Structures are given as structure tokens and as C-alpha cells.
Amino acid sequence: MVHLNAVHHSPKVTDSGGGSSLSDAGSRLADKAQSLLRLSDEADDFSTSVYGSRFACQDLPRTRMPEEQMPRDVAYRMIKDDLSLDNNPRLNLASFVTTYMAQEAEKLMTESMSKNFIDYEEYPQSADIQSRCVNMIGDLFHAPSGSAVGTSAVGSSEAIMLAVLAMKRRWRQRQEARGKPATAPNIIMSSAVQVCWEKAARYFEIEERFVYCTRESFVVNPREMVDLCDENTIGCVLLLGTTYTGHYEDVRAVSDLLVQRGVDVPIHVDAASGGFVAPFVVPDLEWDFRCEKVVSINVSGHKYGLVYPGVGWVIWRAPEHLPPDLVFNIDYLGAQQSSFTLNFSKGASQQPDAHGRPARPDRHYDEFALAHALRSRGWVVPAYTMAPKTDRLKMLRVVVREDFSRSLCDMLLADVRLCLGMLDATDRESIKRQDEYVRAHLTSAGRARHSKHKPHSYKGETHSLQGKHGKTHATC
């Protein structure tokens, strides 16, 4: 049924007395128009839409604090419009980081953002939740009951830094007790490690010793790793889920070999991506504290722990593996607290499958060209140059997260076929020109050249694996 309404007009004003009525009406309309015009010039203008206000034709501040305020709804819309150029997180298949959480979990995080988590005395329940999480993670990793210790961190990067500090300090104490110099520590790890391991070694002045991957094997050879150990080795690093291919390194084999040879070197397991997968998918795989030489493990809550970034965890087998001179007892706002962190103040909101695909060698384009083509369809599928000594092997990686539905998978495969067909039909020179254009104008480094706010760039460094060998560090 259609409802019809009558249209009514206000009575016309007639000039029956020398035009005074018309004049009064015109004056009232002019005053009203002038009033509206004055409103549009006010800073707190709510008389029009965001895009009809004077702020719509102004640039957002870039280098200096603005002299005048902006209405909050306008500021929100302008910043939101800027952020709309970011990629869709659900289509970002490069990252292990969680992109979906239930609304109830999001609400709990939002309600805890205002709490300064370093203040355990004022927020005892938040601190208690951290303790529960440490205990549950320790139990999941088969930590000895009653002796294991641990803490939360800002992602696995901080957790790794803390573990490296503990290993270095314990090694130094051991060397000093033996009357030996403690000036040349080294750490042994795969050449496929995430860049935070290179940072930790460089920042804490530790020599890096790499077990190099090959085209046939993307994980460390246990014998090669143990052969590199000497009295200055602070620890061996094993990856439970390499960032390139998701392979698990053989922690049990390295641990047993160290025991057999009587080598006094501990193991740290970087379980950033695999720590919340392996216990459920392959529970009989021994990679954790069931291995005698494993003294510490880090894991990312914001990867397969299903929490938004950034929270990580680090667990030590026993207090003796965390030297007490690294732990600070702090009287903070009325309570004694033990603190071992690189950060201090932080919010409390964080407390409450991957595979590679090399392109066919007979094609006239590489994995980077396919990654660029998929980006035009909205997908972020990263291409990488593998670790050194793999003959510059390139690969694509897709991370399958909780919110990667069957329908999204079908759409991805359809777009991969579409892009492959397009690249097959495009000649080599055209693909090369397109690749050069993308690198010069569409990548973050390319866009920075045209940006009003240019980041400082350190070029030509030769101290990292990427600088030395051209390895591309995988997104974590």
C-alpha cells in the first residue's frame, strides 16, 4: 500500500499596506541566512555535514600542532578517510597477526585500555590474569611445576630480547666463575631467523653464527648447529615455525646431541608462530621443556594466540635461568613488584598454517610480479627472496588465519588463476616496466619519495643478512 500525503503551502504574503509585510518577511529571511552563514564559520560547526564544513578543504596537520581545535566528529572522519587507503586486514595474507576477535573480546580490551598495567597494586586483577596466563602457557609447554617463571611482553620481539639478555648474563657468570674471559659471546641460529634475532645480537654485542638453509632444506642441520658451539656460545636458537615456510626445526635432536657430547649450551625455542599450534596439532612432538636443554621459550599471543597485536610471552624452565641481577624489585605506587621488561608503562588490554609456493621456472615472470598482480585485486600475498645459500630462491607465502573462510579461499584461488593468466599473456618487457613502476611509485619506499613527510632512510647497510646476501625478511 502507498501512503499519500497532501502538499501544503504557507499562505502567500500580500502587499496590502505599502509593502511593509513583504519587507518584514524579506528581512527575516536575510537574518536567518546570515545566521547560518555565521554558523559555518564557527570552529564547532554542527549545522552541516563533515564534508560541507570548512575543514573538508583543509589539510590535516603534518608537521606542526594546529593553532585551533577541530570538532571531534570532523577529526574522526578526516583521519578515518586517511586510513581508508590502508589494505583490508582480512585480505592481508602476509601476516601471522590476528585480524579477527569476537566482539566480547574486543569490548574487554577496550575497557582495559585506560589501565597502566605496570601498576600491579592498583590493578591486581589484571596482574592476576597475567599470572594465570603464564601458568597456563607454562603447563601447555610442559614446564616443571612450581619452578618455571615467565612474563608478558610487547610481542615476541621483546620476549626474545629478554631471553637473549638472560642467556648472555648466565653465560658471563659461568665464564667468570671459571676464571675465563667473558668478552666474545656468540649465539647460533638458522639463517632463516626473523630480523629481531639479528637486532638482539647486534644491540647486545653478540657474534652471530648461522646455520645456513639450502634449496633442499629450510631448517637447521642439528649436527652443524652443535659443531658450531664452543665455550663462548650463550645458546642455540631453534625455530618452531620458520617465517618463510612454517617448518618446525628439530629441537629434540639438537638437545639430545648437546647432551651426548656434554656441551654446556642451553636452547631457546622461538615458538612465536608455532607455540599455540603444535601442542594441539602434534601434541606428541617434543620441542618444549620436555627436551633437557631447553631453558626458555617465547610465543606470540597476537599470532595463533588469537589476540590483536601486540602481546608476547616468555617462559623460563626455572629461576636459575633468569639471573636475579636482571630483575628489579620496584616500590611503585605503594607496592613491591618484580620487573623484568624493556618497556615500563603499557595498557592492560592485551592480558584479558603457512605454506610457500615457488613459481614455475619456465615462466618469464617471478613471484614478485605475481604478488604485485594480486595486490591489484586487493590481496596482500608477500613474495620473498629466501635465506642465503639457496641460490636466491624466491617464494610466495600465504598465512591461513582463523578468519580465512572457505569463500575467501575460493576467491583467492580464482584471483591467482586470473593473475597467472594475465601474466602469461603479457610479454617480458611489459612486466619489467610494470614492476619498475610499482617499485618506484606504489611500494612504501616509492611513495615516500613523493610524500610531504619523508622518512629518513639508511641505505647501503651491510651488517644484516639482507644487506650481505639479499635475503628478504619475512613479515611476522
**Mean pLDDT over residues 117-134, rounded?**
78
Assigned domain for 58 exists: no
Please list, residue by residue across 270-304, b when 16 or more beta carbons sit within 10 angstroms of its beta carbon and e when fewer do.
bbbbbbbbbbeeeeebbbbbebebbbbbbbbbbbb
Give me the helix-helix angle, 406-424 and 367-375, nearest 10°: 120
Residue 300 bridge partners (DSSP): 312
Task: Write down the mean pLDDT value for the chain.
Answer: 81
pLDDT, tens digit (0-9, with 9 covering 90-100), for 152-195: 888 888 999 999 999 999 999 999 999 999 999 999 999 989 88
Residues 334 and 203 in one domain: yes
Residue of higher predicted confidence among 142 and 386 = 142
Residues 331 and 402 in one domain: no
Residues 377 and 326 in one domain: no
Q: Is a pLDDT exceeding 70 seen at residue 463? A: no
Residue 298 bridge partners (DSSP): 270, 314
Assigned domain for 426 exists: yes
For the chain, the domain total comes to 2
* C-alpha grid cell, residue 466: 639482507
Q: Is a pLDDT exceeding 70 seen at residue 436? A: yes
Residues 105 and 132 in one domain: no
The CATH number of the domain holding residue 196 is 3.40.640.10
What pLDDT was estimated at residue 85? Answer: 81
**Mean pLDDT over residues 32-44, rounded?**
52
pLDDT, tens digit (0-9, with 9 covering 90-100), for 316-363: 999 999 888 888 766 544 555 666 677 655 554 444 433 444 445 568
Residue 188 bridge partners (DSSP): 209, 236
Residues 205 and 315 in one domain: yes
Segments in 178-314 forming alpha helices (H) = 195-203, 222-227, 251-261, 278-281
Residues 138 and 243 in one domain: yes
Residues 186 and 247 in one domain: yes
Q: How many helices (H) and strands (E) does the chain have?
A: 14, 12
Assigned domain for 366 exists: yes
Q: What angle do CA 65, 67, 73 make, to 5 degrees?
A: 80
Segments in 249-358 forming alpha helices (H) = 251-261, 278-281
Domain interval for residue 138: 116-339
Contact 358, 367 (CB under 8 A): yes
Q: Given the DSSP bridges, would you call strands 186-190 and 267-270 parallel, antiparallel or unpaired?
A: unpaired
Conformation bin of residue 18: beta by default, left when phi > 0, alpha when psi is -120 to 50: left
pLDDT, tens digit (0-9, with 9 covering 90-100), for 361-398: 568 888 888 988 898 888 888 888 876 777 778 888 88
Residue of higher predicted confidence among 167 and 404 = 167
pLDDT more than 90, % of the chain: 32
Residue of higher predicted confidence among 109 and 313 = 313
Using the 3D structure, point to which of 339, 371, 392 is the last residue of a domain: 339
Sequence-distant (≥ 6) Cβ neighbours of residue 52 within 8 angstroms? none
Residues 103 and 207 in one domain: no
Q: Is a pLDDT exceeding 80 seen at residue 438? A: no
pLDDT band for 123, please (50, 70, 90 cuts).
Answer: confident
Residues 128 and 240 in one domain: yes
Residues 319 and 410 in one domain: no
* C-alpha grid cell, residue 220: 637447521
What pLDDT was estimated at residue 356? Answer: 47
Residues 312 and 223 in one domain: yes
Assigned domain for 71 exists: no
Contact 149, 319 (CB under 8 A): yes
Q: Is a pLDDT exceeding 80 seen at residue 150? A: yes
The CATH number of the domain holding residue 106 is 3.90.1150.160
Q: Is a pLDDT exceeding 70 seen at residue 120? A: no
Assigned domain for 158 exists: yes
Residue 336 bridge partners (DSSP): 331
d(CA 406, CA 292): 41
Assigned domain for 210 exists: yes
Assigned domain for 224 exists: yes
Using the 3D structure, point to which of 279, 305, 339 is the last residue of a domain: 339
Assigned domain for 348 exists: no
Using the 3D structure, point to which of 311, 339, 367 is the last residue of a domain: 339
pLDDT, tens digit (0-9, with 9 covering 90-100), for 59-80: 788 888 888 888 888 888 888 8
Residues 120 and 104 in one domain: no
Q: Which of 385, 241, 248 is nearest to 303 (CA)?
A: 241
State the residue for C-alpha cell 621443556.
289
State the residue for C-alpha cell 624489585.
329
Q: Given the DSSP bridges, would you call strands 267-270 and 294-300 parallel, antiparallel or unpaired?
A: parallel
d(CA 50, CA 363): 51
